[in-house]
Amino acid sequence: MSTTTKNEVASHELKATPMDPSVQAARDEKIQVAMIGLCGCWGCTLSFLDMDENLLVLLEKVNITRSSLTDIKRIPHRCAIGFVEGGVANEENIETLEHFRENCDVLISVGACAVWGGVPAMRNDVSLEDCLKEAYIASPTAVPQAKLTIPYHEDIPRITTKVYPCHEVVKMDYFIPGCPPDGATIFKVLDDLVNGREFDLPASMNRYD
Amino acid sequence: MSVRITIDGKVVEAQEGEALIDVAADNGVYIPSLCYVRGKPCLGTCRVCSVRVNDSVMASCTVPVTDGMEVKVNEPEVTDMRKALVELLFVEGNHNCPSCEKSGRCELQAVGYEVDMMVSRFPYRFPVRKRDHVSKHIFLERDRCIFCQRCVEFIRDKESGQKIFSIDDRGTKASIEIDVELADKMPPEQVREASDLCPVGCIIEKGRGYDEPIGQRKFEIQSVRERALMGDEK
């Protein structure tokens, strides 16, 4: 999110203690990898964590910036490989995804939501008005006597009329289906790309659920 | 009469008139299909079993073999055509595997894996189709129907032989329908047969739900390719 017009500072704009130059230089030489989450449930991001000790072998070659493993809010420099979880459901998702596309060489959709919209896309067969009414006005879990309103504020990203797969917003290079895909599947893709092999997901590893 | 045909350059022997898709399977060549059930009359509706026969692309379940036939199954162009046909089915309905009870024993899903589909090249349409839950034993999830017509042809009332399922209207308005009166008379094993015969999650048996754990579901135990090559019905 950009905060240039507001009297606010985003976390990625805060001053940080500079990294030791030798450590930074060693990291900069590696293949930069990042993962962002858009409209999903973070399950695919957890699968990224499920690469477990396999990741240790790869750390010789890769540096992981923004991801579930770190606390980086915006990728600090250009990345070679970017993973995307979740589909596009609001304006902030569009901005984040476009920024990621501009700054990554290879982008990969991870999971059903990024690939085709997934569970959030189940709202695509009702109008946005009905969807928000169901959530905030006619909600069975609404607090009694509360003033029922659809929240609106400039800091709340405006939601899009429909939920879109990532590749309908920017160009995506590869796709890993699954809800979520296993850590082993994400590792196979990352390992292949890092070692200069072609993207190859065999039928035995492909899953849509 | 015994005939010789070539499949991907390999000469194989077959009986004249046998369905090409069966001859291929018996000789270790898997051709994906969603409407064909081995041993039952060919429907020829899904076209997913398309291959090149001599110089024409044909649905292999509709082709009786004749002597000297030259068949190409795994050439790149026709392989991509089959993949495109599967991708079309995925965007034409709402095939939300994560929320579908049929997942793991769904033929469309299993065939999707076999044709290496990661995503559809076509835009997802998210059609709105009314569900039919009126019948006592069956949910009809219309947005998953691929109009294979297996249920229409092969599931009939035990007494009268009348069709229980039918397709109403045509083109984009086509819709799978159920005769509720006849459906309510279906014995439990026929309800199970109908739901198992449906290659997608359209005919769902009420009261059955997620009874096989992930990893032990039909096509996880044995892939659709292995089943077809073993001569399994599907």
CATH number of the domain where residue A46 is located: 3.40.50.700
Test B109 with A116 for CB contact under 8 angstroms.
no
B225 to chain A: closest CA residue: A203
Name residue, tokens 């990661």.
B118
Number of domains, chain A: 1
Per-residue pLDDT, B19: 97
pLDDT class of A76 with cuts at 50, 70, 90: confident
Phi-psi region of A197 (alpha: psi -120 to 50; beta: other; left: phi over 0): beta
State how far Cα B39 lies from the chain centre: 14
Report pLDDT for B163.
97
Please report whether residue A164 resides in a domain: yes
Does position A2 have pLDDT exceeding 80, yes or no?
Answer: no
pLDDT at A100: 96
d(CA A35, CA A108): 9
Residue with tokens 């991708």: B87
Asked if the structure places residue A67 within a domain, the reply is yes
Taking an 8 Å cut-off on Cβ atoms, the answer to whether A119 and B103 are in contact is: no
- A125 closest CB neighbour out of B120, B123, B126: B126
Q: Which domain holds residue A95?
A: 29-121+159-194
| Residue A194: Cβ-neighbour burial (10 angstroms; 0-12, 13-18, 19+) | middle
Q: Is the distance from CB of B217 to CB of B170 less than 8 angstroms? A: no
Q: Where in chain B is the domain with CATH 3.30.70.20?
A: 87-209
CB proximity list for A110: less than 8 A, separation 6 or greater: A35, A44, A47, A48, A83, A84, A85, A176, A178, A180, A181, A186
Q: What is the DSSP letter of B163?
A: B
Top pLDDT among B234 and A24 is at A24
Q: Do A117 and B112 touch (CB under 8 A)?
A: no
Among A138-142, A176-180, B202-206, the range scoring the smallest mean pLDDT is A138-142
- CATH label, B87-209, candidates 3.30.70.20, 3.30.70.100, 2.60.40.1260, 3.20.20.140: 3.30.70.20
Residue A1's pLDDT band, with cuts at 50, 70 and 90, is low
Flag the least confident range among A58-72, A109-123, B29-43, B50-64.
Answer: A58-72
Mean pLDDT by 10 residues, chain B (234 residues): 96 96 97 96 97 97 97 98 98 94 96 97 94 96 96 96 97 94 97 97 94 93 95 69
Answer whether B123 touches A (CB < 8 Å): yes
At residue A3, the pLDDT reads: 56
Tell which residue, A130, A46, A45, A48, has the closest CA to residue A86.
A45
Nearest Cα residue to B107 out of B203, B232, B200, B201: B200
Architecture of domain B2-74: Roll (3.10)
Give the per-residue pLDDT at A75: 85
For the record, the structure tokens of A191 come out as 């390992």
The yes-or-no verdict on residue A170 having pLDDT over 90 is yes
The yes-or-no verdict on residue A11 having pLDDT over 80 is: no
Q: In this predicted structure, which of A5-14, A159-168, B89-98, B174-183 has the lowest mean pLDDT?
A: A5-14
CB-CB neighbors (< 8 A) of A182 in chain B: none
Q: What DSSP state is assigned to residue A39?
A: B
Interface pTM, i.e. ipTM: 0.92
User: Does the CB of B114 have a partner CB in chain A at under 8 Å?
Assistant: yes
pLDDT of residue A14 exceeding 90, the answer is no
At residue A7 the predicted structure's pLDDT band, cuts being 50, 70 and 90, is confident
Mutate to test the interface with B, among A124, A174, A207 (most CBs of B within 10 A): A207
* Closest residue of chain B to A180, computed from CA coordinates: B98
What pLDDT shows up at residue B159? 94
Using the predicted structure, report yes or no on whether residue A138 has a pLDDT greater than 70. yes
pLDDT confidence bin for A4, thresholds 50/70/90:
low
Residues 6 or more apart in contact with residue B138 via CB below 8 angstroms: B178, B183, B186, B191, B194, B195, B203, B204, B205, B206
Query: How many beta-carbon pairs below 8 A join chains A and B?
Result: 67
Output the pLDDT for position B8: 97
Q: How far is CA B162 from CA A1, A137, B41, B154, in A?
A: 62, 48, 17, 10
